[in-house]
Chain A
Amino acid sequence: MQSMLRLGMMGVASTLLVGAASFARAETLTIATVNNPDMVVMQKLSPDFTKETGIKLNWVVLPENTLRQRVTTDIATHAGSFDIVTIGTYEAPLWAKAGWLDRVGDLGPAYDMDDLFPTVRNALSYNGALYAVPFYAESSMTYYRKDLFAKAGITMPAQPTYAQIASYADKITDKAHGIYGICLRGLPGWGENFAYLTTLVNTFGGAWFNMSWEPQLTSPAWEKAISFYVDLLRRDGPPNATSNGFTENLALFSTGKCGIWIDATVAAGTLFNPKTSSVANEVGVAPAPIAVTPNGSHWLWAWSLSIPTTSRHEAAAKKFLAWATSKAYIHLVAQSEGWVAVPPGTRMSTYENPDYLRAAPFAPLVAASIKSADVEHPTAMKVPYIGVQYVDIPEFEGIGTTVGQDVAAALAGRVSVAAALQNAQNSTRRTMEDASYIR
């Protein structure tokens, strides 16, 4: 009798305990993120995560630059407002170095770390440890209008050079009918026009700094690259080029106004979709052009999730990280949105999936581009920094944007290319001196 009672009481007690534990597990995570389509889908599907684990999610969605500044302010002052933050390959090594991020290499055996693209994993690591998990990655490639090329009798080679691209753009430009041979980013910003221009400078053989951290902006490679860019856009580009970033050029190309566009691989999803692009059947893709060297000709960027050390819900946050970047999540997106909308560039298994390859004919080129974009070897010569389309130092946001403004001024015809580069060189030098990289 007594043992039955004791058993019964133990049963009740353990039920209460389990109940209390699951009640305690009703935690809430605050996630700071950007407003891109893949993130929008993630928010849409996150009720699945809450159903599985009981963890609730609060989303704070901001534009990229605002997000970066907001999160930096919060972490630097140890205020602890966020449990998960969306960062890129630029911030990951920097913030890891500053001790702001938790290590996330331990997400369980089912996660399959080796399935992540090695270049992407590498870009999100510091001192060999992983500090952020990628939820989408991209490189850059060339988009072009097959119909315009056919009309002009041009065939796109397997690996175009910039000289070829320039001649193609000249042939197909028809400003009277609103066709601009080439559209390129012109909006000033380290992540806007200079993301593209750094790759251009790289492939023309240039670099941002030499091994002694001296800026190289007046080197012959820079002169050639920027002059090429300014001349080409003036000849064959749309009128408001200095206001056109990724978004504006995407709108231009998808409404049929551009003949060639060199930009992010993620644009393919929009351009190939007849619902969002009036030229969906005429788009062709090719690798990003090269000039003197293939190094750094196409960029590498990954938006990833990481956990600030100031978070008080580390375990729960890790659960979300694992869920949102797992193979299961990719299948979940495929079921709900279709294969063409799955987050690209993170897992190699996605690119071996026949359903995906069928829905996204551009996929093999994207995979090849991401595999060959190496943050540790972005230039022809040896350099003291990592990063393909950026330099991974805290000062680069300011430097890249200021130089971006200088080049925009040259593109707008307000100054010559030489003068613009001299200004850029001077201001960059000043910043590097002020930050004690050089005396």
Chain B
Amino acid sequence: MSTASAPASVSIAPDRSRVRRARRAGALLLAPSVLLLAIWSIVPLLMTLWYSLEHYNLMSPGRVFFVGLRNYAFLFSDSSLRSAIENSVTLVASVLILSVVLGTVFALLLNNEFPGRNVARLLAISPFFIMPPVAALIWKNLLLDPLNGFIGWLLSLAGLPPVAWFTRFPMLSLIIIIAWEWIPFATLILLTALQSLDSEQIEAARMDGAGPLSRLRYIVLPHLGRPAAIVVMMETIFLLSVFAEILTTTAGGPGDATTTLTFLVYIRALLNFNIGGASAAGVLAIVLANIVAFFLMRAVARSLNR
């Protein structure tokens, strides 16, 4: 670094007041974001907490009264709660794995030079541009419809009988649709990160005789550690609140096969208009999501801080 001509005396002993000034400046830079997010999250959170302790049904807004923990008792004695949590976990974990693995593969493929690379990149990322309800409808009708859909036709060419995807494999169908939507997100982030990979380092490694596979293993993949961690954190949050796709295809069923915790909140809030009950389920969702985030953070903290 040519700028190493700075006078040594400045960088030897950390100046206490300089550090404090730097910290204050940092805090000032952070202040607007923190303040806004605080207001945005705390006010609805407090109101939701409050509603969860009340009997409040939208259809009779005049009859609102305090009921303590009754909504929670009702929620926890609901037999569909456990399966809702299980479904949430299954959905999120499956899509996460698919999007990180395939996202990495696609990012590696699209990082090379080949004719028409720009167009190919845009195509690979295009599913993310589609609105979730539209994506669900396209898959449900144009592709997966057993009698008139494209995939149904492909299956018939192979001599297979029509498959009722959303009846026999509801969770799998949902995972396919949602993974299709979110793999591009992972691809984009990982691809951008690949571009910041120092090409000199790779050149040096190649000249030292490292083959493509060991270059991949020892240089490229570790470099992708942090962006992959980011992808996991972000996608977890989004996937936990997936809703439109479920509503459009299975509406949580058959039975409660695809009812996730978020969908359970929706059923209570907007189908029963039971705001009290929905708020209780919402509070539970926040608590669980925070627990998940805590453990996730522990697991990826190392990559984040590298």
Contacts and interface: CB of A to CB of B under 8 A. Distances in A.
Most chain B Cβ neighbours within 10 Å, of A94, A242, A426: A242
Contacts of A420: 255
Nearest to B247: A65
Contacts of A94: 59
Given A188-B254, A239-B147, A240-B145, A69 B270 contact: yes
Most chain A Cβ neighbours within 10 Å, of B168, B254, B267: B254
Contacts of A412: 167-168, 254-255
B255 A406 contact: yes
Most chain B Cβ neighbours within 10 Å, of A69, A77, A239: A239
Contacts of B274: 398
Most chain B Cβ neighbours within 10 Å, of A76, A94, A397, A415: A76
A76 B165 CA distance: 39
A430 B274 CA distance: 14
B251 A187 contact: yes
Given A394-B273, A409-B254, A76 B58 contact: yes
Contacts of A178: 147
A409 B255 contact: yes
B277 to A, nearest CB: 8
A408 to B, nearest CB: 4
A395 B277 CA distance: 13
Nearest to B58: A76
Interface string A5-47: 0000000000000000000000000000000000000000000
A431 B274 CA distance: 11
Contacts of B148: 251, 255
Given A239-B163, A240-B145, A243-B164, A414 B251 contact: no
B136 to A, nearest CB: 12
A242 B147 contact: no
A394 B257 contact: no
A89 interface: no
A405 interface: yes
A54 B86 CA distance: 57
Interface in B143-179: 145-148, 161-168
A72 B147 contact: no
B88 to A, nearest CB: 17
Nearest to A395: B272
A16 B253 CA distance: 64
Given A394-B59, A405-B256, A243 B147 contact: no
Given A240-B167, A398-B267, A409 B251 contact: no
A90 to B, nearest CB: 12
Interface in A167-200: 178, 187-189
A72 B275 CA distance: 12
B67 to A, nearest CB: 10
Contacts of A409: 253-255, 257
B294 interface: no
A98 interface: yes
DSSP majority for the B interface? loop
A257 interface: yes
Contact of A408 (B74, B255, B273): B255
Nearest to A433: B74
A326 B298 CA distance: 67
A401 B80 CA distance: 14
Nearest to B276: A434
A189 B251 contact: yes
B271 A394 contact: no
Interface in A381-405: 394-395, 397-398, 401-402, 404-405
Nearest to B259: A405
A176 to B, nearest CB: 11
A183 B167 CA distance: 16
Contacts of A430: 74, 78
A260 B146 CA distance: 19
B58 A73 contact: yes
Contacts of B79: 426-427
Interface residues of B, number: 40
A415 B251 contact: no
A348 to B, nearest CB: 33
A19 to B, nearest CB: 43
Interface residues of A, number: 44
Contact of B59 (A72, A255, A257, A402): A72
A252 interface: yes
A280 interface: no
Nearest to B61: A76
A251 B145 CA distance: 12
B62 to A, nearest CB: 8
B60 interface: yes
B251 A240 contact: no
Given A76-B58, A178-B147, A241 B164 contact: yes
A408 B257 CA distance: 11
Interface in B112-133: none
Contacts of B168: 412
A411 interface: yes
A238 interface: yes
A380 B164 CA distance: 37
B138 to A, nearest CB: 15
B52 interface: no
Nearest to A415: B255
Contacts of B187: none
B215 interface: no
B301 to A, nearest CB: 40
A434 B167 CA distance: 31
A73 B56 CA distance: 13
Contact of A431 (B80, B146, B254, B272): B272
A98 B60 contact: yes
B253 A398 contact: no
A302 B26 CA distance: 62
B99 interface: no
B226 interface: no
Nearest to A251: B148
A187 B166 CA distance: 10
A223 to B, nearest CB: 18
A236 B80 CA distance: 32
A435 B268 CA distance: 13
Given A242-B253, A257-B147, A397-B273, 9 more contacts: A239-B146, A239-B162, A405-B254, A405-B255, A408-B254, A408-B255, A411-B167, A412-B254, A430-B78
Interface of A: 69, 72-73, 76-77, 94, 98, 178, 187-189, 238-243, 251-252, 255, 257, 394-395, 397-398, 401-402, 404-406, 408-409, 411-412, 414-415, 420, 423, 426-427, 430-431, 434-435
9 contacts: A238-B146, A238-B147, A239-B147, A240-B146, A397-B271, A405-B252, A408-B253, A411-B167, A423-B255
